[in-house]
Structure 1
Amino acid sequence: MGKGLLGKRIAIGGSRKTEEISTLIKKQGGVPVVRSLQGTVFLADKQVEPDLRRFVEEQADWVIFTTGIGTETLVDLAEKIGVKEPFLTTLRGAKIACRGYKTFATLKKMDMIPAAVDEDGTTGGLIRSLEAYGFSGKRVMVQLHGEKAPSLMTFLKEKGASVLPILPYRHIPPEPETVDLLCRELMDRKLDAVCFTTAVQVRSLFDFAREKGCINQIKDAFKEDVLASAVGKVTAEALREEGISRLLAPDIERMGAMIIELSRFYEAQPEN
């Protein structure tokens, strides 16, 4: 096993599987520090039910799914409240778009073939796949997962669509003390890298920094000394949207691959 992270302090932005990620970092010689930027995700049944019923009653011209688990959750919830068949009928009567291979696979199991699919697993790729279609006056239901995908929502509204967002999951904000500590560590250059495992974690950090007036210092830290590491394309896209271009993202979207990629990066540095 390589030791590319020898002596490197690596912050973990996730709240799940932190022990697993910490073990991977230690095996590479690094020092893991957990700085959770994402609270617990919970199913918001009662909050989602009115929107789901509204969708079934009013129907839609387009339905956009952004995650496989979110797609499955809406089907399960529709069954739970007794509207599964009307829900599926409404889906079959609409054009469908989706982001991500897991979402595509979930829809395929339901015998639904999307009219528009991203080419790279990102929200930007999904938007590009939708640019050829007209949305003026169209009703669009968008399944979101944890965050509100502002670029997608803005695109649809600017195209003249009437948008109904449905979020089957919510994220509890992280502890302010934790984010504040991470910001200070970044500004003081006490970290070598930060591992982000969801786009939500990226938003949590940068929104907090903007609110506290230290956004420029945080961006400078990532540009100069601290490496941002993303578990996959969607998380990397969120970092780029915040102006962070110096980042790593593995081709295989797994936590283990992210840590190995990080280790290889440091092994290739002249000082190593």
Structure 2
Amino acid sequence: MTPSDASSGAAADRWSSLSRPPLSAAALQRALVVPGGLWTSVEVTGSTGSTNTDLAARAADLPEGAVLVAEEQTAGRGRLDRTWTAPARSGLFFSVLLRPGPDVPVERWGWLTLLAGVATATGLSRAAGVDTALKWPNDLLVTVEGEERKAGGILAERTGDAVVVGIGLNVSLTEDELPVPAAGSLLLAKATVTDRDPLLRSVLRSLEQWYERWRAAGGDPATSGLQETYAAGCATLGRHVRAELPGGRQLTGTAEAVDSDGRLLIRTADDAHEAVGAGDVVHLRSVH
């Protein structure tokens, strides 16, 4: 399906769900693409497999700041190639194209996943009055009736001299629509706003602010304030966790900090410290 075909399909069922109106690319473009700003284009497609895959395929022909939004993703990808699907127009599914170099050394590009988490949480707090916690390295958590649930995720992928950062967020999903019982949405977290247009604008503006601050600091997470802000909003720190590492190894201990490379520092039962740069982390219980 081409973007034009997808848009035609979206127009055909434009009013199929009055509570989930379609996004307007023209309105978003007018609001976000401004002289001197980061965002250079905003494209909205009706349905696609993955905005990350689509944007990465076109990265060589696009300037930094291209934004691709899908009303529906049929093959959205999370970490470890997990799929991310949701009803059409029930969430925000978008990817952005960034080129941090030459201002930022390549070894600091890994911070973009954590930066996107901070920016998303900040933007949602401003626009929807909902607290979004960060689970290392790339999950967005909300509280639903006192229970911590995953409402979104982030996937950053390098392609040539660029990084494509994809964000998926459940906005208006009801309990019956959740892919798994442990999932959540802004609606279930009692957000004051579930209109995706102002939510997307707020997240993208927050992402621009954090990205420019980080890039101006040469990607230094401490100087830019990113490391401190991430730690303050990270629900993983202070928790007893199990890290499921590449190769099938597991590590259990207390998550104590995020180091200057964005790695999670875990203190094990024998008081050893290990830095985890990749893997799945399971929250086991709070440490008192």
* TM-score bin (small chain): under 0.3
What TM-score, normalized by structure 1, do the two folds share?
0.22
Structure having greater relative contact order (Cα 8 Å, sep ≥ 6)? 1
Structure ranking higher in helix proportion = 1
TM-score by length of 2: 0.21
The higher radius of gyration belongs to 1
